[in-house]
Amino acid sequence: MRKNQKIITSTLNRRNFITAAGATLAGLSLNNHSQANSATPSIVRDMTAANLRGAFGGESMAYMRYVLWANHAEKDDKPNVARLFRATADAEKVHADNHFVELTEHPGEELVASMAVFGLGSTSDNLQGGIDGEVFEVEEMYPAFLAVAKKQNEKGAIQSFEYALEAEKMHIDLFKKAKQATDRGQDVELGPVRVCDVCGYTIEGDIPDECPICGHSRNHFMSFE
């Protein structure tokens, strides 16, 4: 567990989520390896490990997708959209890093199933692709993964999923703002974009004294100006 980090409480949709592993919470088995056992050192249990791997895959592809879409926006004479995509890409890298670290006790090769968004259209289309991917993460993927991690009392994964869930909400808002501009044929008006290198919190404007998601100091913010 990293120091000085606050666990934020997310408002989760309480319906039965279908996880990437294809299980529903209602039918989630907690026996065998998944059974919480106080005599066993805390390790990532199989279903949470699968979810961490899936989230790592999703975040890794989001990083790459945003870099590609940033390059495309640059050619499309939308430098601020390009900057937004690059900042957001770095936030996704933070999330991928966090998920990867939580899998330290699960080394080895795995086939990973992850949600992926494809397409290289207009900058406006690409921003819509970004919005669609972020909405999926905020409304379906991370709430489901978080619910399983909580049921399995996986504190590290809970923190990693909560960090990502909260940060992705900011990405939706920023992409929507940018899409409104590109739909009018303009680049977005955009101040400096700041990204917390601990949790991926992303904002436009001044660096906060303390990250509202993870509580780390302003020294942990990357700037995209």
| Binding interface with Fe ion (CB under 5 A) | 134, 168, 171, 196, 198-199, 201, 211, 213-214
Q: In Å, how far from its chain's centre is CA 39?
A: 32
Residue closest to 65 by CA, chosen among 138, 115, 109: 115
Shortest Cβ 143–Fe ion spacing (Å): 15
For Fe ion, give the closer residue by CB, 45 or 224.
Answer: 224
The number of residues in the chain equals 225
For Fe ion, give the closer residue by CB, 123 or 133.
Answer: 133
Residue closest to 142 by CA, chosen among 82, 221, 62, 68: 62
Count of Cβ atoms closer than 10 Å to residue 164 Cβ? 28
Shortest Cβ 72–Fe ion spacing (Å): 18
Strand order in the sheet with 202-204: 202-204, 193-196, 221-224
CA 214 → CA 115, 200, 206, distances in Å?
Answer: 26, 9, 17
Shortest Cβ 79–Fe ion spacing (Å): 20
Shortest Cβ 158–Fe ion spacing (Å): 16
Measured CA to CA, the distance from residue 186 to residue 178 in angstroms comes to: 9
Tokens at 66, concatenated: 């945003």
Shortest Cβ 206–Fe ion spacing (Å): 15
For Fe ion, give the closer residue by CB, 47 or 170.
Answer: 170
Shortest Cβ 201–Fe ion spacing (Å): 4
Measured CA to CA, the distance from residue 32 to residue 41 in angstroms comes to: 15
CB 169 within 8 A of CB 213: no
For Fe ion, give the closer residue by CB, 53 or 216.
Answer: 216
For Fe ion, give the closer residue by CB, 148 or 211.
Answer: 211
Query: How big is the CA angle at 76 (ends 70 and 82), to the nearest 5 degrees?
Result: 25
Per DSSP, helices labelled H in 137-222 are: 142-151, 155-183
For Fe ion, give the closer residue by CB, 181 or 198.
Answer: 198
